[in-house]
Structure 1
Amino acid sequence: MIVISKSSYQTIVGGIKGPLLLLFVWDVIVTVTYYHFPFQAPGLPLTLFGSVLALILGFRSTSAYQRWWEGRGLWGLMINANRNLARAAANFLPEGADATGQSQGLRRAIVLRQIAYVNALRSQLRRTPIDTALLPDLSPGEAETAMARANVANAILDGTGRLIAEAKQQGLIDTIQQTHMEGILVDMANAQGGMERLKNTPLPAQFRVFPKLFTHLFCLLLPFGLVEALGVATPLGSTVAGTMFLAVLAIGDDLVDPFANTIHDLPLEAMCRTIEIDLTQGLGDVAPAPITPDDAGVLW
């Protein structure tokens, strides 16, 4: 996610510089042609076309931003749920003189495996490879078992549920405490399901094909409607107007998939690191440093 405004302007313009260059060349061709072979283009239809196109692009950008913001909200729920689970494990399976070795071991196992869970989920959503290096807090056998399943993150969450059930069987927690912790796991599963829904359900093809087609067609027709009024300034005016429509079109493309692993998407690595810091510090261990924006102003 871009967190520095200067970088965002450069990135957006850089992403559409190819179409803008072609648009400028086309505007020059139309302007030169007009002065050699004068023609008259009706302005009203082009104005109506631009108004309808603006409505279409505005609705498309709003829909894309809603998907992006829903993804951020689901990750906010995931962060809170991990904190709640760590707090419940600390309260129900405390350390200290009265705590047993089994209690302390289960507490650490339940809490630390959540770091592996969120990192596996991040990789699944971004379609990047998952290896055992992302699952350092799982035993080798358990990591291989989870990796063998189609949904690695869900397999890790199932394993956490089994640990909680094991704590109940050993008498370390009671039924009410088990139900409370299972409820937190259900919240995580629901948030994960929402993220997978966003990832696996793109915008309908009509939202992707027709706005792009109409925008490019409008940019091609734009100099014909401006050349009589702007004259030799048509390439500049038409290109500036086309930039607005192309930029809105690009914004929709950038936001439609919040987990696409691009500079415009959610900073999943930073949020996973936030969870890791909170859980690690809750156990009294040394926490890693938070992830900060890189030199380009992007937070991953």
Structure 2
Amino acid sequence: MVLPESARLPRMLRYVGWPLVLLLIWDVIVTLAYVYLPHPGFDLPILPMTLLGSALALFLGFRNNNAYNRWWEARTLWGAMVNASRSYGRAVFHLIDTRPESHDLRQALVMRQIAYVNALRCHLRRQPCLDEIRPFLGEAETEGLTDVSNVPNAVLNETAALLSDATRQGWMDSIRRTQVEQLLVDMSNAQGGMERIKNTPLPREYDYFPTLFVHVFCVLLPVGLVDSLGIYTPLASTIVGFMMLAMDQIGSDLQDPFENRDHDVPLTSICRTIQIDLEHLRGKMDAPAPVRPVNHVLW
């Protein structure tokens, strides 16, 4: 996630990149051709470009709204995961009988939650996760997950099995077990929503056509302005083109929030926050430090 303090003009220019440079070069070519060629024959009136620009802005706004809704839903689901993880840790430590015999089980259940959220992070990013969760699950169980297609779901299922064992040993009654089980259901529902966003991208046309129309508009823009603006055409055309190109790039970046890119939901930071909270809950005060931004990007 790009932090707000990085929103400076040089960074924004680099964000749009080469399309903006090519647009400026094209603007200069059109202007020089209009000024030095006696009959260029490609000047357009202003009104059609105004209508085209208005229609394109509406189209980009519609696409970007849908892209941001996907990004915000992804962040909301991870916010729910943070809340459920904290509630789960509190329930494990206080709803399971605190007799000495249950100490190892309560510790293991909390560690499993840290493993679960990190496995889910890697699962959404299509990254290998076994090395990430091995410190929390142990070598034996981690190796048993080698051939599992949905590792976070498998971790959550085994957590439910351990809770059943606690109930059979008399460390939890059915009411408390139901309370903890509801938290597992909440986490499973949140995971399902995240997987839906990951596996169901916006239709290809939402990505292809806005980019195509923006590029066509940028090509036609100096041709439509040069007759009225003359030598000032590169300035006006580049500024308008910059806005259109930036809007198109923003929508493209936001529509897939789990691709491990600069503008994605900061999954690593969120998982670290959950880990710190749960480590403190189980009495380990030397938990890892929060994730720090790298070049104004929080991962």
Report the TM-score when normalising by structure 2.
0.95
Any unmatched runs of 5+ in structure 1? none
Pairing 1:179–2:182 present = no
Q: Is the 8 A contact 1:12 1:250 kept in 2?
A: no
Pairing 1:226–2:225 present = yes
SS of 1:291's partner is coil
Any unmatched runs of 5+ in structure 2? none
Separation in 1 of the partners of 2:76 and 2:134?
25
Cα shift readout 1:207-236 (whole Å, capped 9, x = no counterpart): 111111110000000001110121111112
Aligned to 1:19: 19
Pairing 1:67–2:66 present = no
Q: Is the 8 A contact 1:258 1:265 kept in 2?
A: yes
Equivalent AA in structure 1 for residue 172 of structure 2: I
Separation in 2 of the partners of 1:8 and 1:183?
45
Separation in 1 of the partners of 2:50 and 2:263?
32
Shift of residue 3, structure 1, vs aligned partner: 1.5
Separation in 2 of the partners of 1:86 and 1:67?
29
Q: Is the 8 A contact 2:89 2:278 kept in 1?
A: yes
Query: Cα distance 1:75–1:247, how it changes in 2: closer, same or farther (>3 A)?
Result: same
RMSD: 1.4
Aligned to 2:5: 5
Q: Is the 8 A contact 1:120 1:135 kept in 2?
A: no
Q: Is the 8 A contact 2:45 2:225 kept in 1?
A: no
Pairing 1:209–2:202 present = no
Query: Cα distance 1:12–1:257, how it changes in 2: closer, same or farther (>3 A)?
Result: farther
Aligned to 1:41: 44
Q: Is the 8 A contact 1:4 1:298 kept in 2?
A: no
SS of 2:259's partner is coil
Give aligned-pair identity as a percent: 51
Aligned to 2:248: 249
Shift of residue 9, structure 1, vs aligned partner: 4.6
Equivalent AA in structure 2 for residue 125 of structure 1: L
Separation in 2 of the partners of 1:15 and 1:139?
42
Aligned to 1:151: 150
Aligned to 1:130: 129
Query: Cα distance 1:50–1:132, how it changes in 2: closer, same or farther (>3 A)?
Result: same
Pairing 1:32–2:57 present = no
Aligned to 1:298: 297
Cα shift readout 1:42-76 (whole Å, capped 9, x = no counterpart): 22221111111000001111111111110100000
Q: Is the 8 A contact 1:41 1:224 kept in 2?
A: yes
Query: Cα distance 1:204–1:289, how it changes in 2: closer, same or farther (>3 A)?
Result: same
Q: How does 1:79-158 map to 2 (within 5 A)?
A: 79-95=82-98, 99-101=99-101, 103-158=102-157
